[in-house]
Structure 1
Amino acid sequence: MSPNLAGALLMMASMACFTFNDAATKSIGTQMPLFQMLFLRGVLSTILILFLARTLGTVHFRIRRDDWLLIALRCVAEVVTAYFFLNALFNMQLANLTAILQALPLTVTLGTALFFGEKVGWRRMLAIVVGFSGVLLIVRPGTDGFNVYALYGLAAVMCVTVRDLATKKLSKDVPSMTVTLCAILSVMIFSGFASLATPWVPVTPQFAGLIALAALFILGGYYFSVATMRTGDVSFIAPFRYTGLIWSLLLGWLIFGDWPDGLTMLGAGIVVAMGLFTLYRERALLKG
């Protein structure tokens, strides 16, 4: 299997896992305090990843100082992302929030220009501007249909951008499983302390099943997302991120009975189109 094909499959697997995790988490909703749910999910995810790491032997901590700093930055980004994203998830349609997240290829492209000095031509810059106009159609600030939690979704996009940029700078000898374990532990530890501020609710069999599913899928999402950023040509692989929107539309309709309105679909279409154009230009420049 070529690195590009492997990377595309990893990206699709990552998007599917994250979306199924979102659906399981949203099914719990506000019936359980956010940090209690995150802590319990983190405990189960940690057990799963330690078992997997023991089986595969793919975790070690012999890592350079520069890489530890990048891992620490990723962990902070993961914690803040979890807070903003889950608050938005509980208060928005799944597909609407996922549509906002489709701006990630645009924000990552902008981030590589701002922080890594990568040259971004006028075509890609124009695509980024037009893509953000599509995000505004989804968010619609100042209108009756505006949901303030859409801003939480935008904050999550910024945090995931930081996470992905940090991942791209990691050395190749840092195991993906180690990075995944650090991310899960950071969210779990933070959530454990934060959960002490509110009373816990009883964990019913239904809650336990949903948390177990979420833990399984979040583990897959984390691992595949780290592996994706380190496999093949990013400009080839990145378009497969948009398969997450298909999953969110299907699951939102099947599980929650939600379907985005026309303006949201138009905005999502603009964001996806501009993201694809940006990735096309990146690939053309690499070949050029």
Structure 2
Amino acid sequence: MNQTNFPLKGAAFMVLAGVAFAGANAITWTVTYKLGFKAQSDAFWQYAIATLFSLPFIWRQGLASMRTRHPWLHGLRIVLSVLGVQAFTQAFAAGMAPWHVVALVMTSPFFVLLGAAVFLGERVALNRWLAALIGFTGAMILLRPWEGALTLATLYPVAAAICWGGASLITKRLTATEPQSAITMWLLLLLTPINGLFSLHAGFEVPTGSVLGLLILGGAVMYAAQHFLTLAYASADAGFVQPFDDLKLFSNIAVSWLVLGFAPEGAYWLGVALILAGSLYLLWSERQGQIAVAAA
């Protein structure tokens, strides 16, 4: 393949990752809401199974790759990641449609902006504030607090967005001094045990029958999604493929509609469009800024 075709290859892998994530979300909704399997146990088993598929990578890296000068930062990042997973799964267990959950979780980059300004002291440019305002307006349309539609279930995806935004900030801090292999290994080896503690607290469930089959399928699909994500970033510049990540929202809408029978209605489409517009505008304006700096 010609070198100039690699960016398109990266974009294709990113789209495939979004489709795989949408499939995993539909499986989580089915297992937790439709079949009544506890959300905490679903999170544990799905990530445990995905970790099993990652054993070849873990074996190649070895425990020595986990040496670090910042164990507390790694620990905090993993705790925030687990809390995000738990909130994300609880949203499905409450019956929220996957597209609705994913749309609200896509506000995470805007929380990262706020966190970078407050906790890292970074200067937040006007374009970033504008992107955050557009995204939050979309989120409010989906949450509809003025109609009394704001419930604990609808706040779960927002909580997941905040937790994952915090984890992203810590990852940004760690990448300045830590190798990527160490950051990945810490997450792979500790995410499942901590999810296990939540499952034990809620009443540990062992999957059987159709639930077991769906969890194995979900773990495999989750691993495939992560693999496609890795291939996407390996095939093209991150700035080029990142906008294609936002297409996962449409993947989730399609899967929610075709498989589960859910689709946005009325003003919800406006909320979805604003969240997507805010995210894409942020990526575009940041990209333009990088090009301007490089040309100077």
Q: Match for residue 40 of structure 2?
A: 35
Structure 1 position 227, deviation (Å):
7.7
Structure 1 residues 245-283: Cα deviation after superposition (integer angstroms, max 9, x where no partner): 111111111221111122211011011112211211111
For 1:193, give the aligned amino acid: L
Structure 1 residues 75-108: Cα deviation after superposition (integer angstroms, max 9, x where no partner): 1121101111111122211111111122233333
Q: Is the 8 Å Cα contact of residues 49 and 219 (structure 1) preserved in structure 2?
A: yes
CA distance in structure 1 between the aligned counterparts of 2:130 and 2:145, rounded to whole angstroms: 22
Structure 1 residue aligned with 2:93, among 76, 90, 93? 90
TM-score by length of 1: 0.84
For 1:258, give the aligned amino acid: F
For 1:18, give the aligned amino acid: F
Q: Is the 8 Å Cα contact of residues 43 and 86 (structure 2) preserved in structure 1?
A: no
Q: Match for residue 51 of structure 1?
A: 56
Over aligned residue pairs, what C-alpha RMSD do you find?
A: 3.0
Change (3 A) 1:7 1:109: farther
CA distance in structure 2 between the aligned counterparts of 1:160 and 1:230, rounded to whole angstroms: 23
Q: Match for residue 266 of structure 1?
A: 270
CA distance in structure 2 between the aligned counterparts of 1:77 and 1:34, rounded to whole angstroms: 17
Change (3 A) 1:143 1:10: same
Q: Match for residue 64 of structure 2?
A: 61
For 1:65, give the aligned amino acid: T
For 1:260, give the aligned amino acid: P
CA distance in structure 1 between the aligned counterparts of 2:88 and 2:123, rounded to whole angstroms: 30
Indicate whether 1:74 and 2:83 are aligned.
Answer: no
Indicate whether 1:219 and 2:237 are aligned.
Answer: no
Q: Tell me whether 158-167 or 11-20 shows the greater mean CA deviation.
A: 11-20
Structure 1 residue aligned with 2:132, among 123, 128, 133? 128
CA distance in structure 1 between the aligned counterparts of 2:51 and 2:14, rounded to whole angstroms: 22
Helix, strand or coil at the partner of 1:43: helix
Q: Tell me whether 63-72 or 276-285 shows the greater mean CA deviation.
A: 63-72
Change (3 A) 1:81 1:222: farther
Structure 2 residue aligned with 1:204, among 203, 208, 215? 208
Q: Is the 8 Å Cα contact of residues 167 and 229 (structure 1) preserved in structure 2?
A: no
Q: Tell me whether 162-171 or 230-239 shows the greater mean CA deviation.
A: 230-239
TM-score by length of 2: 0.82
Helix, strand or coil at the partner of 2:64: coil
Q: 5 Å matches for 1:177-256? A: 179-201=183-205, 203-222=207-226, 233-256=237-260
Aligned residue pairs total 285
Q: Tell me whether 260-269 or 107-116 shows the greater mean CA deviation.
A: 107-116
Change (3 A) 1:241 1:258: same
Structure 1 position 218, deviation (Å):
2.6
Helix, strand or coil at the partner of 1:196: helix
CA distance in structure 2 between the aligned counterparts of 1:161 and 1:225, rounded to whole angstroms: 18
Change (3 A) 1:71 1:11: farther
Aligned-residue identity in percent: 26
CA distance in structure 2 between the aligned counterparts of 1:237 and 1:70, rounded to whole angstroms: 28
Indicate whether 1:20 and 2:23 are aligned.
Answer: yes
Change (3 A) 1:21 1:67: farther
Q: Tell me whether 102-111 or 157-166 shows the greater mean CA deviation.
A: 102-111
In structure 2, the gaps of 5 or more residues are none
